Chain A
Amino acid sequence: MKHLQLHNDIRQIPLLARFIETISREEKLDENLTMTLNLALEEAVANVMLYAYPKGTDGLVDIDAVIGRRALRFIVTDCGKAFDPTSTPEADTLSPAENRQVGGLGIHLVRTIMDEVRYERRDGKNILTMIKNI
């Protein structure tokens, strides 16, 4: 299992990209899979960084990666306010530009890229588990 801890500072997002790239190199994942995993993780983590904690307060986000032979499991944990991203409505990906809403694309990407996305609230923590079959 690999672990990364970040603060709720969006400028730390490049550290997450490096974390995923290291896993990708070690597991010999292809370039496209690396990019999409990076994207799904960034969307989940950025959401926590931007919205989980009250503005101006320091908070942490933990990322665990469990590498299996057939699947990669990523667990994103924070102690911010309860929020279940899996309960949000589907993003609009069909309307013409004039009517297209700009929100909800992040979780849409997570759902599209990952094979399974699970949320639970436990001990005052948001725990988002994302599984990608390989």
Chain B
Amino acid sequence: MEVKIEKTGEDLTVKFIGRLDTAASQEVAPQMNALKGETSGNIILDFSQMTYISSSGLRIILTIRKDATANGGRVVVRGMNDGIRSVFMMTGFLNLFEIE
């Protein structure tokens, strides 16, 4: 799993490339924690090159969502594939995010 972070103005785009499984989540989590308070703008989670997500990955993005809301920003999830969409559906995550 590779994560690319880009800042455009106040907005932050976080692009996930590959599988966000339990092993990858443990590596990515500290990097995501460091984002906390990085922006008061919106956060775009770019899933267009994410192929898989497990519950550990869901926990990471829920934390991002909670932190962003606390800072007054929105979180948008962009480009998820059908498999990830079905995981979002099974866990009630579809209702938590703006999906593009």
* Contact among B21, B56, B69, B90 for A17, CB-based, below 8 A: B21
**A43–B62 CB distance below 8 A:** no
Q: Is A125 an interface residue (CB 8 A)?
A: no
**B52–A105 CB distance below 8 A:** no
Residues of A within 8 A of B86 (CB): 32, 35-36
B contacts with A, residue count (CB < 8 A)? 24
**B62–A46 CB distance below 8 A:** no
Size category of the binding interface on chain A: 20 to 34
Q: Is B99 an interface residue (CB 8 A)?
A: no
A49 to B23, CA, bound (A): 11
* Contact among A14, A32, A91 for B23, CB-based, below 8 A: A14
**A35–B55 CB distance below 8 A:** no
Residues of B within 8 A of A100 (CB): 62, 66, 96
**A13–B96 CB distance below 8 A:** no
A100 to B64, CA, bound (A): 13
**B82–A32 CB distance below 8 A:** yes
Residues of A within 8 A of B52 (CB): 17, 35, 38-39
Mask: chain A, 39-55; 1 = CB below 8 Å from B; 0 = not:
10011001001100000
Mask: chain B, 58-100; 1 = CB below 8 Å from A; 0 = not:
1100110110010000000000001100110011100010000
Q: Is A11 an interface residue (CB 8 A)?
A: yes
* Contact among B63, B83, B91 for A31, CB-based, below 8 A: B83
B residues at A contact (CB < 8 Å): 19, 21-23, 26, 52, 54-56, 58-59, 62-63, 65-66, 69, 82-83, 86-87, 90-92, 96
A-B contact pairs, 10 of them (CB 8 A): A10-B22, A31-B83, A36-B83, A43-B55, A97-B66, A97-B96, A98-B66, A100-B96, A106-B54, A109-B55
A residues at B contact (CB < 8 Å): 10-14, 17, 31-32, 35-36, 38-39, 42-43, 46, 49-50, 91-94, 96-98, 100, 102, 105-106, 108-109, 112-113
